[in-house]
A and B are shown apart, each in its own frame.
Chain A
Amino acid sequence: AQSVAQPEDQVNVAEGNPLTVKCTYSVSGNPYLFWYVQYPNRGLQFLLKYITGDNLVKGSYGFEAEFNKSQTSFHLKKPSALVSDSALYFCAVSQTDSWGKLQFGAGTQVVVTP
């Protein structure tokens, strides 16, 4: 079985400061890892993914994430947060033998204050 944990319900950060949203996962086998962002009453927007290769993945809007196999983590980062980054962020995982079935974390609300 696969699972995802986002340990923080909410992250508060001042504009211009670094932003980190945490994600840990559990799968049997090699994971596919994803980050999505959701604005109120909207669908999910894809930010980035890790399939294989370089552990540091760069995505949309200046976001990046680092895959850490030993710690089974895939934390999302942005060096300098913007007020417009305020949204709900989801981490998701699937296994290589069931690639279509994504398991989502509960989500982390990011609040960036001016």
Chain B
Amino acid sequence: DGGITQSPKYLFRKEGQNVTLSCEQNLNHDAMYWYRQDPGQGLRLIYYSQIVNDFQKGDIAEGYSVSREKKESFPLTVTSAQKNPTAFYLCATQKGTDTQYFGPGTRLTVL
């Protein structure tokens, strides 16, 4: 997990609220990724960014938004349009074509 921080560790959201998950890295990696993990389904890609000020949708982008204004930061906003947001969210970084490394995760629960 070293070099990649995600905050908060636990997050609770009321129905209809937007919430933002933070991902910060000090590894100087170009690419950053957001995944969602649900029990028994592995990880699914939400959004990814290979350079600053550019990002692409992954397989399950609906109801989520991102920004990449700095190389070190890739925040994920879970909007009220996401109907089933309760999940474990993982951020990852990658340098070139090397391995992806993961942060410690944020567990989001909708109340």
Binds A, one of B13-21, B39-47, B67-75: B39-47
A87 at the interface (CB under 8 A from B): no
Count of A-B contacts judged by CB separation below 8 Å? 55
B23 to chain A, nearest CB (A): 11
B18 to chain A, nearest CB (A): 24
The residue in A34, A44, A90 that gathers the most chain B C-beta atoms within 10 A of its C-beta is: A44
Are A100 and B48 in touch, CB under 8 angstroms? Answer: yes
Contact of A101 among B1, B45, B104 (CB under 8 A): B45
For chain A, the bracket of interface size reads: 20 to 34
Question: Interface of chain B, helix or strand or loop or mixed?
Answer: strand
Question: Interface of chain A, helix or strand or loop or mixed?
Answer: strand
Are A43 and B90 in touch, CB under 8 angstroms? Answer: yes
A34 surroundings in chain B (CB, below 8 A): 99-100
For chain B, the bracket of interface size reads: 20 to 34
Q: List 12 A-B contacts (CB under 8 A).
A: A9-B40, A43-B103, A44-B90, A46-B99, A46-B100, A46-B101, A100-B48, A100-B50, A100-B100, A101-B48, A102-B43, A106-B42
Q: Ordered nearest first, which 7 A-B pairs have the shortest CB separation?
A: A43-B102, A104-B42, A44-B102, A104-B43, A106-B42, A43-B104, A99-B97
